Amino acid sequence: MFALAGGWSSARVATSFSDRRFPVAVAAVFCVVLSEWAASIMGWTPVFAITLALAWALLTLAAIDILAFRLPDLLTLPLTAAGLLVSLIVPNDIWSHLAGAVIGYCAFAAIGWGFARLRGREGLGLGDAKLAAAAGAWLGWAPLPSVVLIACAAGFLWVAAMAIMRGRRALTERIPFGVALAVAIWVVWLYGPLEFPGGAA
């Protein structure tokens, strides 16, 4: 489903950037768009600077996942730690965020393990589990269902778009699910969790 196979190394990513498969101009445009998006939601508040740091981290992770189908520990682990530090300030509830980090990692790791046992191949890598831990660290445990739903929707849209452009064979190809997770984390950070019938988030 969300297979993330193949070796990753810093050299491989560096090569991908240097041979211009990832234009710097595209990254610059995304940075501007994310900055303006965040500013339109929260204004020029102290939280805005934190939000920009989160945006740039998620953008970098998404780019690496597209290029190398990996989410390196060098970024996911510090992002998780940063989320826990931020939770001491916004909204000053570290236990909910610590629980979110543990639940996010364990849930995704369990899904990946179950998929591998059933299908005999890796489906959801531990990089995704670590990014889910970062989601819990930044957002807390309660918004995690919203993150999963939005990420799954984004993943299905990605597959549908690839199928339209490249035909049915795209349905069997791996996708960089870290991109979908990054989108979901960003949306929930800005707008909060989804509202479900009955008022539960």
Query: Quick check: is 65 in a domain?
Result: yes
Across the range 9-19, mean pLDDT stands at 46
Which residue from 127, 136, 128, 139 is spatially nearest to 51, judged by alpha carbons? 139
User: Quick one: tokens of 130?
Assistant: 């670590």
Element (H, E) at 60: helix 46-68
What per-residue confidence (pLDDT) applies to 5?
Answer: 36
In a domain, 168, yes or no: yes
Task: For residue 105, tell me if it sits in a domain.
Answer: yes
Does residue 1 belong to any structural domain of this protein? no
Does any domain span residue 128? yes
CA angle 167, 169, 170 (to 5 degrees): 75
Q: What is the pTM of this model?
A: 0.80
User: What domain range is 160 assigned to?
Assistant: 10-191
C-beta of residue 138 within 8 angstroms of C-beta of residue 132:
no
Cβ neighbours of residue 155 under 8 Å, at least 6 residues apart? 2, 175, 177, 180
| In a domain? residue 4 | no
Q: Which range, 64-68, 113-117, 180-184, has the best average confidence (pLDDT)? A: 180-184
Q: Does residue 201 lie within any of the structural domains?
A: no
Beta carbons within 10 angstroms of residue 67's beta carbon: 17
Reported as a pLDDT band with limits 50, 70 and 90, residue 165 is: confident
Residue at 3 is within a domain: no
Whole-number pLDDT of residue 80: 97
Domains of the chain: total: 1
Tracing tokens 């597959």 back to the chain, one arrives at 159
Given this model, what pLDDT does residue 84 score? 96
